[in-house]
Structure 1
Amino acid sequence: MQYSKLGRSGLNVSRVCLGTMTWGRQNNQQDADQQLDYALSQGINFIDTAEMYAVPPDKDTYGTTERIIGNWLSRHSEKRQQIVLATKIAGGGLAHIRNGAEISGETVLQAVDASLKRLQTDYIDLYQLHWPQRTSPHFGKQWPNRIRFTDVDTQAHSNQMLEILQALDDCVKAGKIRYCGLSDDTTWGMAEYLRLSEKHGLPEMVSIQNEFSLLHTKDWPYLIEHCVRSDMAYLPWSPLGGGMLSGKYLEGQRPQGSRWTLLQRNGLFRDTQAAQAAVREYMSLAGDFGLTAAQLALAWCDQVDGVTSTIIGATSMGQLEEDIAAFKRPLTGEQLDAVGQIMHRYPMPF
C-alpha cells in the first residue's frame, strides 16, 4: 500500500480510503467487520463515514453507519490509533437531521458530540462539512445556468463560514477533532475558508472530497490545481460513477440489492446514453488490459496528478478485494493514453 500526506495536516493516509455509506442498509455489522479487518490487513488506514449514513438517507438509518464503526472500535480499541477516522456533519435540508437546520456554530457542536458517541471514540481525525450552505455545482448541477451564483449573498455566506470555523476551533481545542475538511464544495468555498482561517487564526481546511471519475472530471484542472497549490488533499468519491463504471448497470440491468434499485434522492442522473456508451468502451479497453472495468477506473483515478486518496466502497468482500487489487497495478503510459482517447470522445457524459 502506498501512502500520501493528507494536505497540510501532516497525517499519512493510504492511497485507498474505505468508504462506508452502505453499512446499515446494504451491509450489516458482520459485513462491516469483515471489510474493516480485510482493509486494515491490506494496509488501508483511512476510513470515511458521515452522520447522514447509511444511504439513501432517511430517519431510520440516520447514524447507523457511525454506530457500526463504533461497535467495531469498541472491540478493537487497540487499533484506534492505527486508523485515520473521518466523518462529516450533514448540511441543511434533511428534515430528520436537526429539523433540516443548516450548519452553524451550534449544530457543529451538537453534531461532533453525537458522532463521538456513536463512533465510541474520544476524537475524530478529520471532521468534514458534508456540503456547503449555498447550492453547489454537484450532483448534475454543473451545467451552465443550472444554478445561479449571482443570487447568493456572498457576505452572508462568509459570515456563516466564520461562525462554523469558530465552532470547529472550539472542538479542536477541546481535543474532539484533529483536522477539518470540506466535501462537495468549490474553489471559492475552499479559498474563502482558507482566507478566514488565516485572518482569524482558526483551523485550516486540510482536504476536500468531491465526486470524480472517468465519467465526471469537472474538478480537473482548476479545483485540483487549487488543492495542490493550497496544500489541501483531494479525495475523489464515487470513482466508479455510482457503480456505473463496473458495467453492472449497462442495458438497463439492475442487479438485486444494488444501489440503483434503491430510491435515489437525485434520481439516476448519471444514467445517460453518453455515459452508457462510454462505459461500454471502457469495459472493452479494460478487457484488453486484463483488468475489470472497475479496476481500470480505479487505477486511472489513483494516477491523476493531485489525487491524495480515492474513496472506495463495496457491498461484498469480492468487490472489495477486486477494488483494492486495482491500486497494486498502475496503468502504463500507453494504457493511460488509450483511456484518454475514450475520455476525449465522452468528456462529460452526465
Structure 2
Amino acid sequence: MKYVRLGSSSLEVSRVCLGTMTWGVQNNQEDANKQLDFAQMHGVNFIDTAEMYAIPPREETYGKTEEIIGNWFAANPSRRKEVILASKVAGPGFSYIRDGEKLSGQNVIKAVESSLKRLQTDYIDLYQLHWPNRQTPHFGNHWSNELGFTEVNAEQQTEVMLDILQGLAQCVSAGKIRYCGLSDDTPWGISQYLKLSEQHNLPRMVSIQNEFSLLHTKDWPYLIEQCVHEDIAYLPWSPLATGLLTGKYLNGARPEGTRFTLMQRHGLFRDTNNSNKAVQAFVEIAKQHNVSPAQLALAWCDQVNGVTSTIIGATSLVQLEENLNAFIEPLSNNILDDIAHWLKQYPSPF
C-alpha cells in the first residue's frame, strides 16, 4: 500500500480510503468488522463515514454507520491510533437532522459532539462539510442553466462560511477534530474558505471529496488543478459510478441486494442510454486486457494526476479484495491509450 500526505495536513493516508455508507443497511456489524479488519490488514488506514449514513438516508438509519464504527473501536481500542478517521456533518434538507437547518457554526459543534459519542472516540481526524448550504452542480445539476448562480447572494453565503469556520475552529481548539475538509463543493467554495481562513486565522480546508469516475470527470481539469496548487487533497467518491462501471446493471439488470434496487434520493439519474453504451464499450476494453471492469475503473482513477486517495466501498469481502487489488500494479500505456480513446467517444454520459 502506498501512502500520501492529506493536502496541507500532517496526516499520511493510504491511497485507498474505505467508504462505509452501506454499513447499517446493506451490511451489518459483523460485515463491517470483517471489512475493517481486512482493509487494515492490507494497509488501508483511511476510513470515511458521515453522520447521515447509512445510505440511502432514512431517519431510522441516521447515525447507524458511525455507531457501527464506534462499536469496532470499543472492541479494538488499541487500533484507534492506527486509523485516520474522516466523518462529515450533514447540510440542510433532512427534517430529522437538526430540523433540516442550514450549516452554521453552532450546528457544526452540535454535530461533532454527537458523532464523537456514536464513534466512541475522543477525536475525528478529518471533519468534512458534507454539502454546502447553497445548491451546487452535483448530482445531475451540472448541465447549463440547471442552477441560477446569479441568484445567489455571495456576500451572505460568505458570512455563513465564516461562521462555520469559527465553529470548526472551536472544535479544533478543543481537540475534538484535527483537520477540516469539504465535500460536494466547487472551486468558488474552496476559494472562499481558503480566503476566510487566511484573513481570520481559522482552520484551513485540507481536502475535498467529490463524485469522480470514468463516467463523471467534470472536476478535471479545473477543480483538480486548484486542489493541486492550493495543496488540497482530492478524494474521489463513487469511482465505480454507483456500480455502473462493473457492468452489473447492463441491459436493465438489477441483481438482488444491489444499490439500484434501493430507494435513491436523487433517482437513478446516472442510468442513462449514453451511460449504458459507454459501460458496454468499457467492459469490452476490460475483457481485451484481461482485467475486471471494477479493477480497471479504480486503477484508472488512482493514476489521475492530482488524486490523493480514492474512496471505495464494498458489500462483501470478495468485492473488497477485488477492489484493493486494483491498486497494486499501474496500468500499462496500452490500456491507458484505449481508455483515453474511449473517453473521447463517451464524454459526460450522465
TM-score (norm 2): 0.99
CA offsets 1:12-46 (integer angstroms, 9 cap, x no match) = 10000000000000000000000000000000000
Task: Return the alpha-carbon distance in structure 2 between the equivalents of residues 10 and 104 of structure 1.
Answer: 27
Shift of 1:333: 1.5
Equivalent positions of 1:104-119 (< 5 A) are: 104-119=104-119
Partner of 1:289: 289
Using the TM superposition, give the Cα deviation of residue 96 of structure 1 relative to its aligned residue in structure 2, in angstroms.
1.2
Does 1:10 pair with 2:30? no
The match for 1:199 is 199
Q: Residues of 1 paired with 2:215 and 2:243: CA distance?
A: 11
Per-residue Cα deviation, 1:250-295 (whole angstroms, up to 9, x for no partner): 1000011111100101000000111001111111111111111000
1:119-149 CA-partner distances (Å, limit 9, x unpaired): 0000000000000111000001000001111
Which runs of 5 or more structure 1 residues have no equivalent in the other structure? none
2:319 alignment partner in structure 1: 319
Which residue of 1 is the match for residue 94 of structure 2? Answer: 94
* TM-score (norm: length of structure 1): 0.99
Q: Secondary structure of the residue that 1:234 maps to in structure 2?
A: strand
- What pairs with 1:2-81 in structure 2 (closer than 5 Å)? 2-81=2-81
The percent of aligned pairs where both chains have the same amino acid is 62
Per-residue displacement from partner, 1:79-103 (whole Å, max 9, x unpaired)? 1111100000000001111110111
Q: Give the equivalent residue in structure 2 for 1:339.
A: 339
**Map of 1:177 onto structure 2:** 177
Residues 268-279 of structure 1: pairs in structure 2 closer than 5 A: 268-279=268-279
What is the CA–CA distance in structure 1 between the aligned matches of 2:168 and 2:348, rounded to whole Å? 36
Cα distance in 1 for residues equivalent to 2:96 and 2:238 = 25
CA distance in 1, matches of 2:98, 2:174: 23
Distance 1:99 1:129 in 2: 17
In structure 2, what is the Cα distance between the partners aligned to 1:15 and 1:298? 11
Q: In the alignment, which residue of structure 1 is the partner of 2:144?
A: 144
Q: What is the CA–CA distance in structure 1 between the aligned matches of 2:26 and 2:71, rounded to whole Å? A: 17
Aligned equivalent of 1:239: 239
Deviation beyond 4 Å, 4+ runs, structure 1: none
Please give the alpha-carbon distance, in whole angstroms, between the structure 1 residues aligned to 2:9 and 2:321: 29
Partner of 1:254: 254
Secondary structure at the residue paired with 2:8? helix
Q: Describe the SS at the equivalent of 1:54.
A: coil
